């Protein structure tokens, strides 16, 4: 039976999702080995407790993440708001070869995702990264044709700049922009979030727990699997780690006083930024899933918000959120 997780609206076209969704990337890629059977239990438990917003992408596991979700969707499709993405083209070895936003690729990628997911439509279809070589008007125009064809219900962008969002919205209504947003990644507050608010576009916050760092459980990259992407992430490196650990410890003190976990505090903070922000923390643990979902019931006081703001102003986040190659493809 579903719990009473509040719903939020993404965009002005009526797309309703749970206030805290589930990012599925780590079930198939980037964070070391995963167990599909365990992941399936997490996915089913998510739906059971009212976490109905599932986020995947064609690049996660080079299609294997979509195929994983297909095993759940074949019996529970009507209970799920399904989001997936296109744009990254990967080689046989998994390397990202390019970003493709051409109209031809938009259509072929959608067809491939529909087949892997085993569904006849996608609820929210994102361009995963903006293709600098293709005008956003052409990409979104092709995405709009998928809506007309009934293959996609709503459109989204990911890591697009404020100006790109404006241009895209003139072609077709945009329901959501997915960008990294958390206590230690607040770039979107400068220009992007205000534009989303102005245009009635929801903001889906990925990595809302700082790729797990804001839980307070990671003290060193040596604790991570050898194949874990975070070993190459600047914020996890030894020269940046002390400053970032100090930030997390300060936030943990606020969480302790509140009687919640650091992760729950981080998610509750995001939910208080705007009624149209929806974080999508990823997890491969039922216990973590339930902990994250419970954050939707936490109402921070004005005093707690001020304490968090003080911590953020006093302690600087060390390191960029991606290596240089990854940073070149955000806020485009």
Reported as a single tens digit per residue, the pLDDT across 10-68 is: 999 999 999 999 999 999 999 999 999 999 999 999 999 999 999 999 999 999 999 99
Instruction: Please give the pLDDT value at position 60.
Output: 97
* Type and span of the H or E element at 303: helix 302-314
Say which of 31, 60, 181, 206 is annotated catalytic.
60
Instruction: Give every CB contact of residue 247 below 8 A, 6+ residues apart in sequence.
Output: 183, 184, 311, 312, 315, 317
Q: Which residue ranges form the domains of the chain, and what is each CATH number?
A: 7-215+270-296 (3.20.20.100)
Cα distance from N-terminal residue to C-terminal residue, the chain? 42
- Pull the structure tokens for residue 253: 């003190």
Location of structure tokens 């109209």? 103
d(CA 69, CA 63) in angstroms, rounded, equals 10
Q: What angle do CA 124, 299, 27 make, to 5 degrees?
A: 40
The verdict on whether 60 is a catalytic residue reads yes
Q: Is residue 277 within 8 Å of 270, Cβ to Cβ?
A: yes
* Type and span of the H or E element at 14: none
Report the interhelical angle of 241-258 vs 302-314 (nearest 10°).
Answer: 170
Q: How far is CA 207 from CA 1, 70, 77, 149, 213, in A?
A: 28, 23, 25, 32, 10
d(CA 100, CA 45) in angstroms, rounded, equals 35
Nearest to 289 by CA among 31, 51, 35: 51
The full DSSP string for 237-288 is STTTHHHHHHHHHHHHHHHHHHTS-HHHHHHHHHHTT-TTEEE--B-S-HHH
Q: What angle do CA 301, 303, 305 make, to 5 degrees?
A: 70
> CB neighbours (10 Å) of residue 69?
27
Instruction: Give every CB contact of residue 97 below 8 A, 6+ residues apart in sequence.
Output: 89, 90, 91
Instruction: Please give the pLDDT value at position 2.
Output: 44
The full DSSP string for 183-207 is TTB-GGGTTHHHHHHHHT-EEEEES
Q: Is residue 292 within 8 Å of 20, Cβ to Cβ?
A: yes
Q: How far is CA 276 from CA 165, 193, 197, 205, 279, in A?
A: 16, 10, 8, 10, 10
Instruction: Please give the pLDDT value at position 3.
Output: 52
Instruction: Give every CB contact of residue 33 below 8 A, 6+ residues apart in sequence.
Output: 225, 227
Counting as low any pLDDT under 50, the low residues of the chain are 1-2
Nearest to 13 by CA among 81, 69, 77, 112: 81
d(CA 211, CA 54) in angstroms, rounded, equals 17
Q: Is residue 157 within 8 Å of 130, Cβ to Cβ?
A: yes
Nearest to 332 by CA among 201, 170, 137, 162: 162
Instruction: Please give the pLDDT value at position 6.
Output: 96
Residue 53, strand partner residues = 81
Instruction: Please give the pLDDT value at position 4.
Output: 78
- Pull the structure tokens for residue 145: 């044709």
Instruction: Count the residues in the chain.
Output: 332
């Amino acid at each position: 039976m579903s719990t009473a997780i509040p719903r939020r609206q993404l965009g002005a076209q009526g797309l309703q999702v749970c206030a805290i969704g589930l990012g599925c990337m780590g079930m198939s890629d980037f964070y070391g080995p995963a167990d599909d059977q365990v992941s399936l239990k997490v996915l089913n438990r998510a739906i059971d407790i009212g976490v109905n917003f599932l986020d995947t992408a064609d690049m996660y596991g080079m299609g294997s993440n979509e195929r994983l979700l297909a095993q759940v969707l074949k019996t529970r499709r009507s209970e799920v708001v399904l989001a997936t993405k296109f744009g990254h083209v990967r080689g046989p070895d998994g390397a990202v070869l390019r970003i493709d936003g051409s109209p031809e690729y938009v259509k072929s990628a959608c067809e491939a995702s529909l087949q892997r997911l085993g569904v006849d439509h996608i609820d929210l279809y994102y361009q995963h990264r903006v293709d600098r070589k293709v005008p956003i008007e052409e990409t979104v125009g092709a995405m709009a044709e998928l809506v007309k064809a009934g293959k996609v219900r709503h459109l989204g962008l990911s890591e697009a700049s404020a100006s790109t969002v404006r241009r895209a919205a003139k072609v077709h209504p945009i329901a959501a922009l997915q960008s990294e947003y958390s206590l230690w990644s607040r770039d979107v507050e400068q220009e992007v979030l205000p534009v989303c608010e102005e245009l009635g576009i929801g903001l889906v916050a990925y990595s809302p727990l700082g790729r797990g760092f804001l839980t307070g459980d990671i003290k060193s990259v040596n604790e991570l699997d050898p194949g874990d992407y975070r070993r190459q992430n600047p914020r996890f490196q030894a020269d940046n780690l002390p400053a970032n650990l100090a930030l997390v410890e300060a936030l943990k003190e606020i969480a302790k006083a509140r009687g919640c976990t650091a992760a729950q505090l981080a998610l509750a903070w995001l939910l208080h930024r705007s009624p149209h922000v929806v974080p999508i923390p990823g997890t491969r643990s039922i216990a973590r899933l339930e902990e994250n979902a419970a954050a939707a019931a936490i109402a921070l006081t004005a005093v707690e918000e001020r304490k968090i703001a003080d911590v953020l102003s006093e302690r600087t986040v060390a390191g960029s959120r991606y290596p240089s190659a990854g940073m070149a493809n955000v806020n485009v």
